[in-house]
DNA sequence: ATTCTACTTGCAAATAAATTGCAAGTAGAA
DNA sequence: TTCTACTTGCAATTTATTTGCAAGTAGAAT
């Protein structure tokens, strides 16, 4: 995902391409794990926390970023990039996060829709695994 | 799930059976959807918010309650009861929540473990679907 | 039944997360 | 270059969650 892709994605939706948005994008791109708002702010120095919140929200709306909930008491965010659907394993003890790929959720979504009275379409899903990492498991 | 089950589960882990804990349990039992701390507090009237937090945490530890994250900015909680593994569909617009059952996540978990370098066991998982309910879809 | 003590609770205060209002700044169209 | 709607930073709020502590009590021991 190049920067022109970002610019285009933003423009296409009526968003302007600004310095804070570019910086935030770059921070996310370097990260190897989903980041909290505070972490993103740390990485950009100079960009206000509120701007990080608003930018991540904008990125989410244009589909550049995914919000991840790992039961840590705050939301995390990561670039979707070209990467297919991937998810996470989290150590419930030390909070270590690993990615994994290969979530075939379509059958589950189909079954859910079949049961549902009020929904006819799924537009997104979250799937996270929780465990003990080998390090914490030995303690 | 009867109340003696609660009492036993608590006692077994060294927790005392108290009035606030019973009330909170009853509120959760009546609910047909996962509740926020504030909603639980509303339902109990007289029990302090802090006690709700601490009790839900205790219930979580003894396995009575599951925490659910629906990207709403706060955690939700629901009784596990005897009910097997079930999950939710959430309307991203009006936040309507529906249950669904039939999450066969074992293959996914196995595949995740196969890929993982730092984990050898999954002890929990979260899976939530996001969509537009039929009502919101027509707007 | 009474005593004892570790576990619980409520209240207040602190911390942390997320949102809102607004004036000043600026991207990008004209 | 001009103009204006979109953005930003800063301060203030609101909402969520945690912590400290003194007073209360469940449940074991007597
Ligand atoms: Mn990831
Ligand atoms: Mn449920
Ligand atoms: Zn760990
Ligand atoms: Zn809806």
Contact call for residues B40 and B24 (beta carbons, < 8 A): yes
Q: Which nucleotide is nearest to B75 (CA to C1')?
A: D16
Q: Is A15 on the interface with B (CB under 8 A)?
A: no
* Mean per-residue pLDDT over chain A, rounded: 92
Q: Which of A72, A75, A70, A81 is nearest to A31 (CA)?
A: A81
B96-121 pLDDT, tens digit each: 999 999 888 888 999 999 999 999 99
CA of A17 relative to ligand 2 center, distance in Å: 41
Q: Which nucleotide is nearest to B18 (CA to C1')?
A: D26
Report the interhelical angle of A19-30 vs A37-44 (nearest 10°).
Answer: 110
State the smallest CA–CA distance between residue A9 and chain B in angstroms: 21
Backbone angles phi, psi at B99, to 5 degrees: -85, 155
Which CATH number does B84-139 carry?
3.30.1490.190
Strands (E), A48-139: 65-68, 76-79, 86-91, 97-101, 119-133
CA of B64 to C1' of C10 (A): 24
Of B75, B116, B137, the CB nearest to A89: B116
The residue extents of the domains of chain A are 1-82, 84-139
Of B102, B119, B124, the CB nearest to A98: B119
> Which of A80-84, B17-21, B99-103 comes out lowest in average pLDDT?
A80-84
Q: Which helix (H) or strand (E) holds B132?
A: strand B119-133
A41-72 pLDDT, tens digit each: 999 989 999 999 999 999 999 999 999 999 99
SS3 assignment, position B74: coil
Cα of first residue to Cα of last residue in chain B, in angstroms, is 41
Q: Is the pLDDT of residue A113 over 60?
A: yes
Token match 């937090």: residue?
Answer: B53
Q: What is the pLDDT of residue A44?
A: 95
Any idea which fold A1-82 has?
Arc Repressor Mutant, subunit A (1.10.10)
Contacts of B97 in chain A (CB under 8 A): none
SS3 assignment, position B131: strand
Handedness of CA B54, B31, B63, B67 (dihedral sign): negative
CA of B3 to C1' of D13 (A): 41
Q: How far is CA B5 from the centre of its chain?
A: 17
- The proportion of chain B whose per-residue pLDDT surpasses 90, expressed as a percent, equals 72
Q: Which helix (H) or strand (E) holds B68?
A: strand B65-68
CA of B66 relative to ligand 4 center, distance in Å: 24
SS3 assignment, position A20: helix
Q: Is the pLDDT of residue A3 over 80?
A: no
B6/A126 Cα distance (integer angstroms):
30
Q: Which nucleotide is nearest to A52 (CA to C1')?
A: D8
Q: Is B16 (CB) below 7 Å from strand D?
A: yes
Q: How confident is the model at residue B128 (pLDDT cuts 50, 70, 90)?
A: very high
DSSP tag of A71: S
Q: Is A8 (CB) below 7 Å from strand C?
A: no
Contacts of B70 in chain A (CB under 8 A): 69
Average pLDDT over residues A77-90: 88
Contacts of B90 in chain A (CB under 8 A): none
């Amino acid at each position: 995902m190049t920067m022109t892709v970002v610019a285009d994605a933003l423009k296409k939706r009526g968003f302007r391409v600004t310095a804070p948005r570019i910086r935030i994008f770059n921070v996310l791109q370097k990260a190897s794990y989903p980041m909290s708002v505070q972490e993103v702010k740390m990485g950009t120095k100079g960009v206000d926390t509120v701007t990080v919140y608003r930018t991540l929200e904008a990125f989410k709306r244009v589909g550049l970023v995914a919000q991840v909930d790992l039961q840590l008491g705050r939301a995390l965010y990561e670039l979707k990039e070209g990467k297919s659907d991937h998810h996470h394993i989290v150590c419930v003890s030390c909070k270590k996060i690993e990615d994994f790929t290969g979530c075939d959720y379509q059958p589950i979504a189909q079954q859910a829709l079949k049961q549902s009275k009020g929904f006819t379409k799924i537009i997104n899903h979250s799937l996270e695994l929780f465990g003990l990492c080998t390090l914490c498991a030995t303690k």
